[in-house]
Amino acid sequence: MMAIRNLGFIRGALLALAMAIGLGAQSTSAEPLVESYDLGRGPVSLYRPQTAEPDQPLPLVVALHGFTGSGLGNARYFGLIDQVEPRSFYLLTPDGSLNPDGDRFWNATRACCDFFNSEIDDVAYLEQLVEAVRADFAVDPSRIHFMGHSNGGFMSHRMACEKSEWVASIVSLAGAGYG
């Protein structure tokens, strides 16, 4: 019974994100185009709709994985890549840093998940990624959203707190608040 409620909550949260970024359902069979960014921490995929007008500003969703996860795995699990084309938005799927055990993480809060005290500045890294995408594509600056699962949810909260001037909304699934 709990799993069904949680699945409903996840679907509801993703629907809320879709409404927050003003996405309407559209019918299309086109696949999103994939760009790659590397700011020194490995490649990061940006999925973008091929049917969008080049100069039309679109929302940007930054999807953050949980502890030990990956950007691609997170986006696939939540079905985000399949929504890029029909809902016309950009999707950025970065990976967190690797700790000494080989697990990916975001340095979000003292609670989770920089267990080796690396002091990595993920706020600056994510801000640089968003700015790189904005330099290349027409991103609507009032519709930049973060979606995070678990440790990625913690990081989404942190981005909302520290970069509230440009983070329009967050969806945090199984991630507590920052602070």
> pLDDT, tens digit, for every residue of 78-111?
999 999 999 999 999 999 999 999 999 999 988 7
User: CA end-to-end span of the chain, whole Å?
Assistant: 32
Write out the residue range of the structural domain in which residue 156 sits: 2-173
CATH code: domain of residue 169: 3.40.50.1820
Q: What is the pLDDT of residues 11-62, one digit of tens each?
A: 555 555 554 555 444 444 678 999 999 999 999 999 999 998 889 999 999 9
Q: Would you call 104 helix, strand, or coil by DSSP?
A: strand
Q: If you search the block for the tokens 């990595």, which residue do you land on? A: 120
Report yes or no on 179 lying in a domain: no
Report yes or no on 160 lying in a domain: yes
Q: What is the mean pLDDT of the chain?
A: 87
**The total number of structural domains that make up the chain:** 1
Least confident of 7-16, 115-124, 146-155, 166-175: 7-16
Q: Would you call 93 helix, strand, or coil by DSSP?
A: strand
Taking 80 as the threshold, does the pLDDT of residue 153 lie above it? yes
Q: Give residue 5's pLDDT.
A: 47
CA–CA separation, 9 vs 173, rounded Å? 9
Report yes or no on 124 lying in a domain: yes
Report yes or no on 68 lying in a domain: yes
Report yes or no on 140 lying in a domain: yes
